[in-house]
Copies of this chain bind each other. A is one copy, B any other.
């Protein structure tokens, strides 16, 4: 193997595939990036066995084709720090790699490419096409409510649904539901697949705020994301996802419309009287034109007044403030409407028009 390529292009590909490197593994080969020099350029691959990423080919002058696996952290650190523009890579003998760039010259022991686990092939039948920025927003604005409870495997992922020109993601953790949808090219596909949260988190880091199209291919057990030529393959979670649709009632008895950042700031101030992460409930007292937040613990009490638009009945209800803050932070609109039924029913946060996002939060007993 012998090739010359551009440092920045190589680094970009390393940064992408590194998201599938498992830094805590007992299999040293999984700490590596597979480097393959072929006639159409350099291909980098990483695979933690749950998720694998293969980079788009990096343009290169390939003098001799070949392949080797190199420690991902070392390879990344070197390419990130060397001073030159062109990276020269050459296999001198069995897996011994000479890497030169700028004033630097490294001799590195690689591992056999044959030991590297290949990415599974994914058939390209069921396809959805969505804009990069839309998929990124869908993940970022729902992922925080994936369940941490490992006893329910289906809730450790998000349900992705695609049909009739829309793609949606939903995350449920037993106390709240976060839902976001976007326009997409779904064709005749009827998608319903549970994608592991870890895969979605890593994909969100790769996705840019761009209008570029991301293609998503689904099979029964796997999903493949094609992001600007980089391929991310992940297993799907098996099982039945919970029926969440009917919990979003459109009836309400009380409604408030608040400035999102003001409400977040007031909630954060009210929670200061709870020590550490043990959050105390925050009471919402809704009267005509005013929301009074209050919290109380052994170290003191806090009270906040927020003036806003209200509609319907007065109400006293309590929530875990973290759930309210996380949902409010995820919303992009500056004004947000919150709908209530009673002290014992969940509240729903959603846009006043359209249904591109909706959040449901269960109340705490007063």
Where the two chains meet, the residues of A that have a C-beta atom closer than 8 Å to any C-beta of B are 71, 74, 77-78, 81-83, 103-109, 265-266, 268-269, 272-273, 298-306
Contact = CB atoms under 8 A, between A and B. Distances in A.
A299 B109 contact: yes
Nearest to A301: B107
A104 B303 contact: yes
A301 B74 CA distance: 12
Most chain-B Cβ atoms within 10 A of its Cβ — which of A71, A104, A265, A298? A104
A104 B270 CA distance: 8
A305 B272 contact: no
A168 B254 CA distance: 69
A106 B301 CA distance: 6
A155 B78 CA distance: 36
Given A81-B265, A269-B78, A269-B82, A103 B304 contact: yes
Count identical subunits in the complex. Answer: 2
A365 B156 CA distance: 54
Given A74-B272, A74-B273, A273-B74, A300 B106 contact: yes
22 contacts: A71-B299, A74-B299, A78-B269, A81-B265, A81-B268, A81-B272, A82-B269, A103-B266, A103-B304, A103-B305, A103-B306, A104-B269, A104-B302, A105-B302, A105-B303, A105-B304, A106-B300, A106-B302, A107-B301, A108-B273, A108-B300, A109-B298
A109 B301 CA distance: 9
A105 B295 CA distance: 11
Contacts of A107: 300-302
A13 B269 CA distance: 20
